[in-house]
């Protein structure tokens, strides 16, 4: 993947910075043992198998989240089926203050930092942490705008 990305960078006339970010992304996926074709493979499974796979992979994560610990199993299973797996490279922003929020995030693996506008770390989030739930509620004077920057640490 790296070789073709490097040659594609020249062919597509993308800048060196973008090309290097793409290379780092694939290096990071490889190091984390994530397959980048997982969603492509899963979409060919029948709906029932996709649901069973989602429950197997994500139910334990939801049970770790304090917000969901007292919820009924049926609700958790319904919620699991709505989850979308996302991976972020170290240094990438998951969301920025002021962005419109339409989802909440649950950290399954890795670390994120909540940062001030000047880049200073305000808090660290790790496995089982969640954020973005306020955006779903659409309350307060900021509506559903993100109230903080959140960046991947790795």
pLDDT per position as a tens digit, 17-44: 777 777 777 777 667 765 555 566 567 6
Q: State residue 41's pLDDT score.
A: 59
Q: State residue 93's pLDDT score.
A: 94
State the average pLDDT over residues 109-119: 92
Contact between 109 and 57 under an 8 Å Cβ cutoff? The reply is: no
Q: State residue 25's pLDDT score.
A: 75
Helices and strands (H, E) in the chain, number of each type: 6, 6
Say yes or no to pLDDT of 94 above 90.
yes
Contact between 79 and 109 under an 8 Å Cβ cutoff? The reply is: no
Tell me whether residue 153 is exposed, middle or buried, using C-beta atoms within 10 angstroms of its C-beta: 0 to 12, 13 to 18, 19 or more: middle
Contact between 148 and 134 under an 8 Å Cβ cutoff? The reply is: no
Percent of the chain whose predicted confidence (pLDDT) is above 70:
76
Q: State residue 54's pLDDT score.
A: 81
State the average pLDDT over residues 92-107: 91
Say how far apart CA 12 and CA 21 lie, in whole Å: 15
For the ranges 3-12, 14-23, 63-72, the lowest mean pLDDT is seen at 3-12
For the ranges 73-87, 105-119, 134-148, the lowest mean pLDDT is seen at 134-148
Q: Which residues pair with 125 in a beta bridge?
A: 112
Say yes or no to pLDDT of 46 above 70.
yes
In this structure, the number of other CB atoms found within 10 A of the CB of residue 67 comes to 11
Q: Considering the entire predicted model, what is its pTM?
A: 0.66
The rounded mean pLDDT for the chain is 79
């Amino acid at each position: 993947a790296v070789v073709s990305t490097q040659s594609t960078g020249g062919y597509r006339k993308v800048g060196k910075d973008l090309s290097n970010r793409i290379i780092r992304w694939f290096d990071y996926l490889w190091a984390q043992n994530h397959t980048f074709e997982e969603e492509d493979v899963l979409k060919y499974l029948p709906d029932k198998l996709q649901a069973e796979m989602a429950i197997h992979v994500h139910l334990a994560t939801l049970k770790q989240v304090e917000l969901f610990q007292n919820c009924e199993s049926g609700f958790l299973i319904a919620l699991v089926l709505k989850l979308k797996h996302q991976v972020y490279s170290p240094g990438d922003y998951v969301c920025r203050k002021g962005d419109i929020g339409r989802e909440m995030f649950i950290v399954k693996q890795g670390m994120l930092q909540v940062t001030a506008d000047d880049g200073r770390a305000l808090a660290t989030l790790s496995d089982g942490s969640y954020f973005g739930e306020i955006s779903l509620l659409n309350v307060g004077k900021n509506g559903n705008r993100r109230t903080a920057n959140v960046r991947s640490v790795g």
